[in-house]
Amino acid sequence: MARRGRRAPLPFDIIAGRNSVRAALVAGRRKVATVVVDRTATGEVVEEIRTLATQTGAELNVTSGHELARLVGGDFHQGVAAYVDKTPPPDWEDLLAAPRAGRPLVVLDHVEDPRNLGAVIRSAAVFGAGGVLFPPRRQVPVTPTVSKVAEGGMEYVPLVPVSNVAQFLKQVQQEGIWRYGLEADGEAVLGEVELDARAAFVVGGEEMGLGRTTRKECDAVLSIPGAGGLSSLNVAAAAAVALYEFRRQHPAAEVVG
């Protein structure tokens, strides 16, 4: 009898949502092998996706909404999904050079909610981040839900697994990059600190925040002040605010996307 174990990872990614599939076809960063469309889906974007699939040589499959929901694991697909190549491995030299060009890194310390991961990726793309880095263990994988929430951001920001966040942050320091942790009890306040143009923002998980060893590797731990009844922002919102503040302080930096 075959021993049960972990299911082997798929050799491709499944992405879902109209903006996500359209972005994959337009960006051309990853090969889109197959586009799957709900036969009842209509609209300008759906027709554009059909045209782009034909132009790029992707196979076009038409199916039911029920089958599409089964494929992606939910009914959030907006009538469109696609099979795309895995994100290519990073060029580490380019990745670590990004902050020197004003494109901060976002380092995640065990984020477990796919919607938070997707929202972080989307914000990273909007504000011109140089990459989103995360540990492959005790971290939500990149799923169709993540791609849907990211709204195409996955095609413009490198997503890079790092086996040990604290060790990676040591390497970041050696490159002259400032490491800013985000926590509700931070020693300084975001907006009152002059952020270095070479920056990495480190965001903790939903329940535990920054791990002890990860926090020790940060050059500064920043809080985001509020005026309401809740004590802190969630992971995705905190990352978005930090990236906005960085871009406010460094508007001339290169923005990708």
Are 249 and 222 in contact, with CB atoms under 8 Å apart?
no
Shared-domain flag, residues 71 and 98: no
CA dihedral in degrees (138, 125, 128, 100; nearest 10)?
30
Q: Does one domain contain both 202 and 229?
A: yes
Q: Which residues contact 141 (CB under 8 A, 6 or more apart)?
A: none
Task: Please indicate, yes or no, whether residues 46 and 129 belong to a single structural domain of this protein.
Answer: no
Q: How far is CA 205 from the centre of its chain?
A: 14
Regarding whether 245 and 138 lie in a shared domain, the answer is yes
CB atoms within 10 A of CB 81: 28
| Joined tokens for residue 164 | 């040990």
Does 99 lie in the same domain as 71?
no
Say if residue 107 is in the same domain as residue 233. yes
**Are both 104 and 54 inside the same structural domain?**
no
Looking at the fold, whether 114 and 183 belong to one and the same domain comes out as yes
Q: What is the CATH number of the domain that holds 123?
A: 3.40.1280.10
- The verdict on 150 and 203 lying in the same domain is yes
**Do the domain assignments include residue 4?**
no
Higher-confidence position of 32 and 226:
32
pLDDT tens for each residue of 72-86: 999 999 999 999 998
- pLDDT band for position 231 (cuts 50, 70, 90): low
> How much is the average pLDDT of 105-134?
94
pLDDT band at 257 (very low <50, low <70, confident <90, very high): very low
220 and 100, same structural domain?
A: yes
The string of pLDDT tens digits covering residues 170-187 is 999 999 999 999 998 899
- Number of structural domains found in the chain: 2
Choosing from 43, 66, 85, the residue where a domain stops is 85
Distance CA 234, CA 155 (A): 24
* pTM (two decimals): 0.89
Q: Which domain holds residue 65?
A: 12-85
Domain check: are 107 and 232 in the same one?
Answer: yes
